[in-house]
Every structure is written in C-alpha cells, then in structure tokens.
Amino acid sequence: MLKLLRVRGRSMLPGLAPGDYVLATRLGGRPRAGARVIAEHPQYGTLIKRLSHWDERGCCHLLSDHHEGLSSEQMGALPAEVLYGRVIACIRQS
C-alpha cells in the first residue's frame, strides 16, 4: 500500500526540506541500511529518518541526515515493528 506524506522539520536536509512530499510503501521485508524510512516512534510519533543499521538483537537504529536532527542515541534501538514503510519517491517543492 502506498502512502503520501508531507515532511515537517529540517532533520532530513539537504535531501528533503519541510513541505516536501514523500511516497512510501509498506515494507516487504527488512529495509537495508541507508534507506529512508517512515517509523512510528513511541516517543516522537511519525518520523522520516535514514535507517542506520540493524543490531545483533534485531533492533533497528535510525539517523537524521542533518546534524540538527534527533541523534541515533535519542531515538534509541527500536523493534522492527516501528518501521511503517520505505520512501520510494520524493516530491520536492523546488
């Protein structure tokens, strides 16, 4: 299933700016490190982030592209279920 979302915030700059749209698909399997993902974070809500890596316990770690964004440490190790989808297209404002 496809989902269209609007980006809020600056943590995915320079690739995605606030007001850009992204098209996300539900995950078929585990997205690879480096993929842009949509996650339902227990604390921060719906996030768009970069998948950093999977750890040995099977938890995923997320990254912001921009240094001002939430850090990996702030977001923590997350169970795979928080990943809602993978970004397959970006529709940028400019």
Residue among 5 and 35 whose Cβ is closer to another protein = 5
Q: Which residue has the tokens 């480096």?
A: 34
Q: Is 64 in the site for another protein (CB under 8 A)?
A: yes
d(CA 44, CA 19): 19
Residue among 40 and 55 whose Cβ is closer to another protein = 40
Q: Rounding to the nearest 10 degrees, give the CA dihedral for residues 7, 89, 30, 8.
A: 0
Q: Is 26 in the site for another protein (CB under 8 A)?
A: no
What are the phi and psi torsion angles at 81 (to 5°)? Answer: -65, -20
Binding residues for another protein, rule: CB under 8 A, are 3-13, 16, 18, 20-22, 24, 38, 44-49, 64, 66, 68-70, 91-94
